[in-house]
Amino acid sequence: MNEYSKQLQKQGLIDLTIRGKAGIAAYPVIWLLITLPYLPHTQFPAFFYINTAILACILLSRIWHLSVFNRDPEASASKMYRWLVGSILLAGIHWGVMFAIIVYHWDDSSMPYVWTMATMAFAIGASVVLSISNVIRAFYPLAMVVPGVCIFIIYGGSDQWVFAATALITLAYIHVTTKVTHADYWGGLKNRFLAEERAEKMERLSHTDQLTQLNNRMFFDRRFCEEWKRSSRSKSPLSILMLDLDYFKVVNDSYGHVFGDECLKRVAETLQATVHRETDSVARYGGEEFVVLLPYTNQQDSEAIATRLLSAIHEIDMSVGSQKVSLTCSIGIATGYAKPGQNREMLLKSADDALYQAKDKGRNRVQVGTSINAS
């Protein structure tokens, strides 16, 4: 099963569990409301207490399932689904058998008719509400109704045959309507997932540089804002590396823009491979310029990362025919401790100024800029 199918199954389980909550206590409550006025506990005590015990066990199983589900939503969806559907079908089968027994034994009172109405209400309501599950919508109403209908047909008179015919027509109606609601639910769920997936893809594309597949400047600006606020709250250091490829215009002019684009892709791959903490962000800032955002990173550690990047880029193996093309870069570093209400652009400007100092001092080097609010 692929990830998409797993997500669908999990959401289906969630919705089925939520919809099924209302029916958890319905069986024993209706059982007691219908049977106690007819005193089955005195006329047929074994029948009453055995069925009450079975209903209590099903109730406990449903409550246990709900408890496990609430405690661990990440539990196996297939296992939880089978547990829930099995409990519901067991309740339906048990109710259907009780229905048949009551129709057979209580033919001298109104109890079979009251029971018939309750059974049909259960069959219709639960089948529609729980039609998420194809198994429930197909078999639950049959389990509830068919045993009693058989007794009506075999042992009943003409008036009871009318009940049987009405019940069978109702079953056919349930089958048709729940088929529609089942298709509507899963069609709607799939459309929702596809819409979310497309929206996520569009957002990812809007934040991705198409050439290098790095984050773009828009993403960096948003992430920088978030990390600046986090730095202010946690009083933790935030570092920025501004990186620019040296003499890249010469590379483009000498070997062509196609080769230049390949160089940018290789540099992007190198940056991603070297800066790999989940909290860090690498983005293409524009042209041959890149920016690295390093939360929780002080000046000393950011210098070590910048030195590794300087070496890694220099080691990139690029060639045109038999001629090797060497790539180098200049890196400006700035580290800051944000303060509430302070303009974060000060840190970015410090890193940018340090980058130009690195270029002025001969390129292919790391230059540390002015720290912001250094402690």
Q: What is the pLDDT of residues 130-156, one digit of tens each?
A: 999 999 999 999 999 999 888 888 887
3 state DSSP class of 325: strand
Output the pLDDT for position 195: 85
Domain for residue 74, yes or no?
yes
Q: Where are the alpha helices (DSSP H) in the chain?
A: 3-20, 26-35, 40-43, 45-71, 77-105, 111-129, 134-155, 158-206, 217-234, 248-255, 257-274, 299-314, 345-360
Output the pLDDT for position 109: 63
Reply yes or no on whether the pLDDT at 193 is more than 90.
no
Closest CA to 190 of 8, 6, 335: 8
Q: Verify that 103 and 196 share a domain, yes or no.
A: yes
Last residue of a domain, one of 145, 174, 201: 201
Token pair belonging to 32 = 């007691």
- CA 294-297-302 angle, to 5 degrees, is 80
Domain for residue 211, yes or no?
no
Q: Verify that 230 and 194 share a domain, yes or no.
A: no
Token pair 């540390």 in the structure block, residue: 368
Output the pLDDT for position 1: 55
Domain for residue 79, yes or no?
yes
Q: Which long-range CB contacts under 8 A does 165-170 form with residues at least 24 apart?
A: 167/116, 167/120, 170/120, 170/123, 170/124, 170/145
Share of the chain above pLDDT 70, in %: 95
Which whole-number Å values give the CA distances from 347 to 47, 250, 301, in the listed order?
A: 80, 30, 17
CB 363 within 8 A of CB 326: no
Domain for residue 375, yes or no?
no
Output the pLDDT for position 107: 61
Q: Determine the residue type at 221.
A: D
Share of the chain above pLDDT 90, in %: 55
Q: Verify that 182 and 281 share a domain, yes or no.
A: no
Output the pLDDT for position 39: 65
3 state DSSP class of 322: coil
Last residue of a domain, one of 150, 172, 201: 201
Q: Verify that 154 and 70 share a domain, yes or no.
A: yes
- The residues assigned a catalytic role are 288
Closest CA to 233 of 375, 346, 373, 340: 340
Which whole-number Å values give the CA distances from 351 to 243, 254, 336, in the listed order?
A: 9, 30, 10
Residue 298's pLDDT band, with cuts at 50, 70 and 90, is very high
Q: For the beta carbon of residue 210, count every other beta carbon within 10 angstroms.
A: 9
* Higher per-residue pLDDT: 371 or 253: 253
Taking only the tens place, the pLDDT of each residue in 94-134 is 999 998 888 887 665 677 778 888 888 889 989 999 999 99
Q: Verify that 255 and 194 share a domain, yes or no.
A: no
Q: Verify that 168 and 64 share a domain, yes or no.
A: yes
Q: Verify that 159 and 241 share a domain, yes or no.
A: no
Q: Verify that 190 and 255 share a domain, yes or no.
A: no
Q: Verify that 247 and 327 share a domain, yes or no.
A: yes
Residue 362's pLDDT band, with cuts at 50, 70 and 90, is very high
Domain for residue 209, yes or no?
no
Output the pLDDT for position 374: 55
Q: Verify that 321 and 261 share a domain, yes or no.
A: yes
How far is 184 from 85, CA to CA, in rounded Å?
20
Q: Verify that 280 and 332 share a domain, yes or no.
A: yes
Domain for residue 207, yes or no?
no
How far is 93 from 120, CA to CA, in rounded Å?
14
Lowest mean pLDDT among 13-27, 66-80, 228-242, 280-294: 66-80
Closest CA to 144 of 222, 86, 92: 92
Output the pLDDT for position 290: 96
The pTM (predicted TM-score) of the whole model is 0.61
Taking only the tens place, the pLDDT of each residue in 15-55 is 999 898 888 888 899 888 888 877 666 677 888 899 999 99
Closest CA to 24 of 73, 78, 70, 76: 70
Last residue of a domain, one of 135, 166, 201: 201
* Total domain count, the chain: 2
Q: For the beta carbon of residue 369, count every other beta carbon within 10 angstroms.
A: 24
Q: CATH number, domain at 339? A: 3.30.70.270
Output the pLDDT for position 116: 83
Q: Verify that 43 and 184 share a domain, yes or no.
A: yes
Could you tell me the residue range of the domain that residue 15 belongs to? 3-201
Taking only the tens place, the pLDDT of each residue in 196-244 is 888 877 777 678 888 999 999 999 999 999 999 999 898 999 999 999 9
Output the pLDDT for position 169: 92
Domain for residue 208, yes or no?
no
How far is 355 from 361, CA to CA, in rounded Å?
10
Taking only the tens place, the pLDDT of each residue in 318-349 is 988 888 999 999 999 999 998 887 888 999 99
Average pLDDT, the chain: 88
Domain for residue 97, yes or no?
yes
Reply yes or no on whether the pLDDT at 157 is more than 90.
no
